[in-house]
Structure 1
Amino acid sequence: MVENFDRYWNNVHGVLAIASLLDPRFKLKLPQYFFPLIYGEDKGLVEVKKVRNLCEEIFLEYHVKVGEKRSKEIKAICNSEFNHVDEMDSLDGFFSWNSESTDGIEKFELDCYLEEKTLPGSR
């Protein structure tokens, strides 16, 4: 029975950790507190990193999909408003320049969310 539970828990704990991460009262603090108690200090820290990495992968996948959709929407709008190829080239040049002109240290919403303080809990 314990073996079956362990196998089941290994599949489910990531989902539960992500669910707690989405709760603004807990974020990543809940796994940071409980995983070392459950797994021991070293393995607990590894498990917390796995949860963080999983969340980042999911967020980046979403970010790419939304970015592609927005890019297509922008191009559709631009194509309908501008009839001259030169104007489109200029606009594409602007978008390219604008994305390169940032300092390269872009924080994603996930990072900002996780760095904010957690909301106070209630009993």
Structure 2
Amino acid sequence: MWYERLQRFLYGRYGTDKLSIAILVAGLLLSLIGSLLFWPITLLADALYIWALFRTFSRNIPARQREYAAFLRFWTPAENWLRKKKQRFSQRKEYKYFKCPSCRQELRAPRGRGKIEVTCQKCHNVFRTKT
């Protein structure tokens, strides 16, 4: 019975997305900082919680989608950069990462091959490097 009422209430609402989760995480961090250092910061955390709830229960879906698209224009490059750094860190024992001296393209080669001659795929510059 209560589940059906909840479903009826949530019908036509926007729901959660990455922006809402990011707002909640920021609120959690501010809440922790506020409890340790300066208590008025927790009021800002509470405002972020309210904003996340407002976005979740909003029926103005086009406005929420515009906010989310603006957030993704910022978040997607940052997420890709973090993913690339994580991949590079996890492969650090198998591959040596380096940059082409002429075009600064990031390249990788298997470790343990000694000195090798590398041809950059972007500018076709040939150079020697140690792996």
**TM bucket normalised to smaller:** 0.3 to 0.5
Q: Which has the larger radius of gyration?
A: 2
TM-score of the two chains, using structure 2 as the length reference:
0.32
Structure with the bigger percentage of strand: 2
Q: Whose relative contact order is higher, 1 or 2, with alpha carbons under 8 Å and at least 6 apart?
A: 1
TM-score of the two chains, using structure 1 as the length reference:
0.33
